[in-house]
Amino acid sequence: MNILIILIPVSIILGALGLCAFLWTLRSGQYDDTDGTAARLLLDDDEPLENRDPD
């Protein structure tokens, strides 16, 4: 029963850290362009490495 004295505050602290991390990613714009990333995966713009001009 004494372990609950340690586990409950630790779980609350970890939950608060997870919430803070989520809010930080939300405010920094991580989730703004979800459709653009999905569309970029499907586009085949890349040339093979041997055909590229060195810049």
> How confident is residue 11, by pLDDT bands cut at 50, 70 and 90?
very high
| DSSP structural state of residue 32 | S
pTM above 0.85, yes or no: no
Nearest-Å Rg of the Cα atoms of the chain is 22
pLDDT at 45: 62
| Higher pLDDT, residue 55 or 35 | 35
Tell me the average pLDDT across 27-34.
84
What is the Cα 27 distance to its own chain's centre? 12
33 pLDDT above the threshold of 80 = no
Mean pLDDT of 9-32: 95
